[in-house]
Structure 1
Amino acid sequence: MMKLTALVDNTRLNSRPDLSVERGLSLHIETMGSQVLFDAGSSDTFCKNASLLDINIQDIDVAVISHRHHDHCNGITHFLDNNAKANVYLKNCENKNYYFRAFGFKSDVGIDKKLLERANDRLVFVDQKTEIASNVFAITEINKRYPEPKGNQYLYTQSNGDYELDVFDHELMLVIKEDDGLVVFTGCAHSGVLNMVQTALELFPNHRIKAVVGGFHLVGLPVLNSIGGTQQEIKAIGEALSRYPIDKLYTGHCTGMKAFELLKSVLGDRLEHLPTGRTVLI
């Protein structure tokens, strides 16, 4: 059985006002004798929350960065300060700048380049399916059967001075294979949560998915908490997810609460919110 704790999300449990929040994601995973950190938010918030949740950052065996946006990776600087043993795995890709652009507004949303320089002895860049701990897999090639989230239209990369829509060649997913099924971790699922589920089942056929965990990037413009697409399109994603052999889905962060409620109307009790401070057994 897996023990999963949300160290950082956009929201927190009402019963834990002592915990801090930020627009970001960080998850602590205990599985089969290993401790895994999946994403690290954008600051040291996840470290402070971990202490309040009786989780020792020093004990984490391996860390994974889902993609090179600041709200998932910049906190790794603080992880490296507090953990002396764990390697940090991320997707190997071209070194680019990452931006949010909409209606004449531009914001840098990329990884702190100093982190890449400072931590090169602890960072491991992968470009194929890699078993980073026993039955813990970083997956770098993600199926493209389904459309990508419409919120991606505001996300760009820049190299050699030119802006291009982000193709998310910096994104990976995490799959943990336990005796009774798979747990799929999406990060932001910029490649599409349905594509990630499909990929997991193709790589691990004849396995049930115990849970899908992470953001689904169904928000449109985050500042407005709009949805990425129409209500019918979000519900269609929920209906497609309902047809897969998935027991539970735990989400928050970039899914957006409006999209969450639309998915909930389709998926019912199979879908749950995972705010900062919540622990679930999977």
Structure 2
Amino acid sequence: MIGSSLLEVDEVKVTIIVDNTIDVFMTGNEIVHRFSSSPNCPLVAEDGFSTLVAEHGFSALIQVKRGNRQGVVLLDTGISPGGILHNMAALGINPDDMQAIILSHGHADHTMGLPGLIEKLGSHQIPLVYHPDALLDRKIIMPNRYELDLSPPKLTTCQQKKVAFIEKSDPTLLVDNMVLVSGEIARTTDFETGFPIHYTKRNDQWENDPVIKDDQCVIVSVRGQGLVVITGCCHSGIVNTIRYAQALTNNQQICAVLGGFHLTGGIFEKIIPATIAELQKISPTFLMPGHCTGWSAIHQIAQAMPKAFIPNNAGTTLVFQAKQI
């Protein structure tokens, strides 16, 4: 199994570049590092916008280190053409340092920053890892019949030339086997049943697609600490996702789970109690729900698991280091 080839790292840093919230006064600690305004990075940037911007989207930079080897990958690109570039500049992140871009799935709030980001890259081709379904057109049909387009952007011919496309539904190892992309996630719980109002266009026909098979996560194994699982929207269900990461790597220890848990809205708020009950059984050391988790779920998780809970916002960096023996 490819997951067994995932190497333990000495350190992983996960920086939230794009998320739904921003708070420049939030405090941190030795694990949680917060972005804050300073003389070199004022609250109001030269363009008149906030130094960091929040949007209904997600993007995270993942930096790993093992001995003298290092790797940098990006998970998702946010919903706006310029939000990710704006926040990267504020955070001092150079797009040319990235060794791969991963799409957690194809929805617009995770992919619309991709064309502008590709334009900023140098002359080298960057690997783009995604599921075969990720570039299909998508929408949700609301109960009032309003159709919300979630389709990913279409890359120009010039942009395509700067990308090495890696289209896979199976797991993928990146940066010297230090980062694992899960591929399709097995659905094993009886309550995480998908998104019933979601549709995908195949062969010019719209079809109901509650499963969203292209949903995948990123997994890093920190020596002595366990797995760090980073999700985009987690349409597979956060419990299904963690269980699959454990099975894929044959490692039951969960250091941290962060990203979107997709528990917002009337359809998903019903499964918050069952989700929390299973998270308590799994007992991750840290939980940082964000993006599409939703206000209600975030607060209930914070109340149920206060020692594990970390408040999330754009600009936050989590640093997990190997446990010294």
Q: Normalising by the residue count of structure 1, what TM-score does the alignment of the two structures yield? A: 0.89
RMSD of Structure 2 on Structure 1 (CA): 2.2
Structure 1, unmatched stretches of 5+, are 221-225
Name the SS of the counterpart of 1:243 in structure 2.
helix
Given that 2:135 and 2:152 are in contact with CA atoms closer than 8 Å, whether structure 1 keeps it comes out as no
Check 1:148–1:186 CA distance in 2 against 1; reply closer, same or farther (3 A cut). Answer: farther
More helix as a share of residues: 1
Summarize the alignment of residues 87-126 of structure 1 with structure 2, pairs less than 5 Å apart: 87-93=127-133, 96-102=136-142, 103-114=144-155, 118-119=159-160, 121-126=163-168
Deviations 1:245-275 (A, max 9, x none): 4211112110011111112221212122221
Counterpart for residue 199 of structure 2: 156
Q: Is the 8 A contact 1:151 1:217 kept in 2?
A: no
Match of 1:193 in 2: 238
Distance, in Å, in 2 between the alignment partners of 1:151 and 1:23 is 20
Higher mean C-alpha deviation, range 162-171 or range 148-157: 148-157
Deviation at 1:62, TM superposition (A): 1.4
Aligned 1:1-282 pairs, distance under 5 A: 1-15=11-25, 16=36, 17-32=50-65, 33-42=70-79, 43-84=81-122, 85=124, 86-93=126-133, 96-102=136-142, 103-114=144-155, 118-119=159-160, 121-134=163-176, 135-147=178-190, 149=192, 152-159=195-202, 160-180=204-224, 181-220=226-265, 228-230=268-270, 233-282=271-320
CA pair 151-145 structure 1, distance change in 2 beyond 3 A? closer
Is the alpha carbon distance of 1:113 and 1:147 closer, same or farther for their aligned partners in structure 2, counting shifts above 3 Å? Answer: farther
Deviates more, 1:70-79 or 1:92-101: 92-101
Q: Which amino acid aligns with 2:12?
A: M
In the other structure, the counterpart of 1:223 is none
In structure 2, list runs of 5 or more residues that go unmatched.
1-10, 26-35, 37-49, 321-325
Aligned length: 275
Whole-Å separation in 2 of the counterparts to 1:262 and 1:243: 16
Shift of residue 167, structure 1, vs aligned partner: 2.2
After superposition, what is the alpha-carbon deviation per residue over 1:86-140, rounded to whole angstroms, capped at 9, x for unaligned? 3111112386320021111002111113369942642211121111222211111
Tell me how far 1:185 sits from its aligned partner: 1.3
CA distance in structure 2 between the partners assigned to 1:95 and 1:254 by the alignment? 20
Residue pair 1:251, 1:273 contacting (<8 A) in 2 also:
yes
- CA gap 1:271/1:117 in 2 versus in 1, 3 angstroms: farther
Structure 1 170/117 Cα, relative in aligned 2: closer, same or farther at 3 Å? farther
Q: Tell me, yes or no, if the aligned pair for 1:147 and 1:192 is still in contact at 8 Å.
A: no
Quick one: which amino acid aligns to residue 305 of structure 2?
Answer: L
Distance 1:64 1:246 in 2: 24
Q: Which amino acid aligns with 2:149?
A: D
> Counterpart of 1:198 in 2: which secondary structure?
helix
Shift in Å, 1:149: 4.7
**CA-CA distance at 1:150 after TM superposition:** 6.7
Q: 1:252 to 1:206 in 2, by over 3 A?
A: closer
> Which whole-Å CA distance do the structure 1 matches of 2:219 and 2:157 have between them?
24
Answer yes or no: is the 8 Å Cα contact 1:68–1:170 preserved in 2: yes
Report deviation, 1:6.
Answer: 0.9
Q: Deviations over 1:59-84 (max 9, x none)?
A: 11111110000110121112211223
- The alpha-carbon distance between structure 1 residues 68 and 148, as it changes in their structure 2 partners (threshold 3 A), is farther
